[in-house]
Amino acid sequence: MTPEIFKEYIAQVLPTATFDESGEWLNVLIAPADWKPFAQTLRQSEHNFNYLFCLTCIDWKTHLTMVYHLSSTGHRQTIVVKANLDPANPEIDTVSDIWRTAEFHEREVYDLFGVKFRGHPDLRRLILTDDFVGYPLRKDFEDPVNMIKL
Amino acid sequence: MYTETQIISTTTGNSVSDALDGTGELMINVGPQHPATHGVLHLVITLNGETIKKIEPHLGYIHRSIEKMCESLSYRQFIYVTSRMDYLSSHINNHACALTVEKGLQLEVPPRAQVIRVLMDELTRIASHELWWGAMAMDLGAFTPFFYAFRERETINDIMEETCGARLTMNYIGPGGVMYDIHPNFQKRVKSFIQLFKSKINEYDELVTGNIIFQNRMKNVGVLSKEDAISFGCTGPVARGSGVNCDIRKLFPYEIYDKLQFEEITETAGDSFSRYMVRIREMHQSISILEQLIDNIPEGDFQAKTKAVLKLPKGEFYTRVETARGELGVYIVSEGGTTPYRIKFRSPGFSNLSALDHMARGSKLGDLVAMMGTLDLVIPDIDR
> Tell me, what's the pLDDT at B38?
59
**What residue type is assigned to position B227 of the chain?**
E
User: CB contact, 8 Å: A13 with chain B?
Assistant: no
CA-angle at B293, arms to B287 and B295, nearest 5°: 115
User: CB contact, 8 Å: B357 with chain A?
Assistant: no
pLDDT band at A150 (very low <50, low <70, confident <90, very high): low
Contact call for B344 and A51, based on CB within 8 A: no
Contact call for A53 and B233, based on CB within 8 A: yes
Residues B296 and B261: their CA atoms lie apart, in Å, by 14
- Name the strands in the sheet holding B327-334, side by side, starting at the edge strand that comes first in the sequence: B315-322, B327-334, B342-346
* Selection from B126, B55, B376, B64 nearest residue B234 by Cα: B376
> Tell me, what's the pLDDT at B331?
92
Contact call for B72 and A58, based on CB within 8 A: no
| pLDDT digit string, tens, across residues B29-54 | 877 765 555 568 888 888 888 888 88
CA-angle at B252, arms to B250 and B257, nearest 5°: 55
* Selection from B229, B321, B278 nearest residue B129 by Cα: B278
> Tell me, what's the pLDDT at B170?
86
pTM for this entry: 0.85
Residues of chain A with C-beta less than 8 angstroms from the C-beta of B230: 50-51, 73
Contact call for A137 and B331, based on CB within 8 A: no
User: CB contact, 8 Å: A124 with chain B?
Assistant: no
**What residue type is assigned to position A122 of the chain?**
D
Alpha-carbon torsion angle B361, B364, B369, B374, nearest 10:
-50
> Tell me, what's the pLDDT at A147?
63
Q: Which of A56, A58, A73 sits opposite B230 (nearest CB)?
A: A73
Percent of chain A scored above 70 by pLDDT?
A: 93
Residues of chain A with C-beta less than 8 angstroms from the C-beta of B224: none
User: CB contact, 8 Å: B335 with chain A?
Assistant: no
Q: In angstroms, what separates the C-alpha of B278 from chain A's closest C-alpha?
A: 19
User: CB contact, 8 Å: A128 with chain B?
Assistant: yes
Is the pLDDT reported for residue B7 higher than 70?
A: no
Contact call for A101 and B231, based on CB within 8 A: yes
Q: Which of A25, A51, A126 sits opposite B233 (nearest CB)?
A: A51
Is the pLDDT reported for residue B337 higher than 70?
A: yes
Residues of chain A with C-beta less than 8 angstroms from the C-beta of B350: 104-105, 108
